[in-house]
Amino acid sequence: MRSEIERLVELDRGHVLVTRIASVLSWDQETYMPVKGIEERAEQLAFLEGLAHEKLTNPEIGSLLHALGSTKANPLGHDSLSPDERAYLRVLRRAYDRETCLPIDLVKDTARTIALSQGAWVEARSKNDFAAFAPWLEKMLSLSRSKAACIDPDKPAYDVLLDLYEPGSTEADIARVFVDLRAELVKLLGKINSKPQVDDAFLHQECPAGRQAAVSRWLMDLLGLDKDRARLDVTAHPFTSTLGSDDVRITTRYVGDFLPSSVFSTIHETGHALYELGIDSPAPFRRSKLSEAASMAMHESQSRLWENMIGRSAGFWKPNLAKLHSLAGPILDGVTLDSFVRAINRVEPSLIRTEADEVTYSLHVILRFEIESDLVSGRLAVKDLPGAWNAKMVELLGVEPPDDSRGCLQDIHWAIGYIGYFPSYALGNLYAAQLWDRLRETLPNAAASLERGDVAGVREWLREKIHRPGSTWLPGELIERATGKDLEAKHFVAYLNEKYARVYGF
């Protein structure tokens, strides 16, 4: 059976290779491609998507999985296989089954549409022109519904889409978690609102892009992102992309009058990149699907843990604020550690998800969850999206977007077909808080190390517990192995309450 596994890995690597070639093209499209390159780039990506589909649906993969005893009912295959081999068969069976039900025309049409739709989104967002983007969203929704119908015609389309990003999750499950979370967040917001607002005026002073870039480069170094295996660029919407096992790219954006935007998006994406670069499968499975992250929510737990639990803590900034000051310049003149930490943790309902504080952030996610579920089901028409978005912003956050660029056009996700993805962000917060609690139990010196400027212990703990295994464990298994417990929301709620009691003094 060894040789059958080896052949499977060989076929799988051929597929992974094509997807990474496509990642190079997508990354280039968002960073450097001249605008008129878009049409031919869309053709190039559609071709690669078709080729990837062909490689993943190669009937030889089906035969080999079958020969190794892996079926839909028992994806792990024969008992005599090693645990790694069985995990690998599970991962590959899932990918193979999901892809074989998609017609090639749908796959190519989707790839082509994504490339064009993304360009349309960038332009619509910059011109505040929702009408120009609407037909693309319509098309993406229609393609997503078709995809869901191919994968499982018996389930509601949105459940099928959710499962793509977080295996096993359903709209009902997530709605249940979100109801509780929303209640807790509202309670906490109430307490915060009863206290005087934190002053963060100094953070809204102008800080030139050049200085912010120096800060971002320093932060990547500080957190231990290997410059020989990663790099930083600038895009409209920050992201992380894996172009190779030793080539992970992150991006950020520089908002002239709000330094924290780049600081925390760089830390966030660095968290994603550390996960990707930390995956270390046994040699026979390198560059296979076992070397991919466990889930989108698990990925988000890593970015959020670095961004919030660490990056917005007093302990982290105690040894680092002086250096930040020297790089960021005059805007931090005379700012104390205490006022800095309070300012970067200021809670205030606002318009932009990626710049929201930790308390209101999950409300942005809940809004997107409710809206995308309505869009997929058809309960909400695309033309009514701006109105629905703005109404819900008022309802959940008490603020109304003055334009669609800062409203329903702010995120890239729907434009590139990531429908059902948003809930992963909130689940990621829950994973992150639970991991953070466990990490500090296991490493009682973690806090002291951070205050000395040493993040290696934290990084290595995460690498060992979460990064290294890649997809060896399902997300639920992984959190259980790392923390001894199933996922629970209480860690996140407790973390927020404890932290904001300190920040706002209640």
Binding site for a copy of itself (CB under 8 A): 14, 17-18, 20-21, 24-25, 28, 32-37, 39-41, 43-44, 47-48, 226-231, 233, 243-247, 287
CB of 227 to a copy of itself, least distance (A): 7
Q: How far is CA 341 from the centre of its chain?
A: 25
Smallest gap from Cβ 268 to a copy of itself, in A, equals 20
Cα 268 to chain centroid, rounded: 9
Does residue 484 come out as left (phi exceeding 0), alpha (psi in the -120 to 50 range) or beta?
left
Compare residues 129 and 233 and give the one whose CB is closer to a copy of itself.
233
Closest CB 95 distance from a copy of itself, rounded Å: 20
CA 55/CA 62 separation, integer angstroms: 12
Encoding tokens for residue 83? Answer: 């645990």
Task: Classify the C-alpha dihedral 490-494-495-496 as positive or negative.
Answer: positive
Question: Minimum CB separation from a copy of itself for residue 7, in Å?
Answer: 18
To a copy of itself, the closest distance from the beta carbon of 67 in angstroms equals 26
* Closer of 233 and 374 to a copy of itself (Cβ): 233
- Candidates 290, 343, 353, 294; CA nearest to 317 is 343
Q: CA distances (Å), 461 to each of 219, 286, 382, 428, 436, in order?
A: 19, 21, 45, 18, 11
The phi and psi torsions of 240 (rounded to 5 degrees) equal: -120, 140
For 318, counting Cβ atoms within 10 Å of its Cβ (0-12 exposed, 13-18 middle, 19+ buried), the class is middle
Residues known to be catalytic: 269
* Separation between Cα atoms, residue 500 and residue 401, nearest integer Å: 26
CB 250 within 8 A of CB 269: yes
Looking up tokens 């935007």 gives 261
What six digits make up the tokens of 174? 């997530």
Q: Closest CB to a copy of itself among 38 and 150?
A: 38
- Tell the smallest beta-carbon distance from residue 405 to a copy of itself (Å): 22
Helix (H) / strand (E) element for 241: namely strand 240-244
Using DSSP's 3-state secondary structure scheme, residue 229 falls into coil
CA-closest candidate to residue 31, choices 279, 243, 264: 243
Question: 261: how many CB neighbours lie within 10 A of its CB?
Answer: 21
Calpha distance 7→10 (Å, rounded): 5
Q: How far is the CB of 233 from a copy of itself (least distance, A)?
A: 8
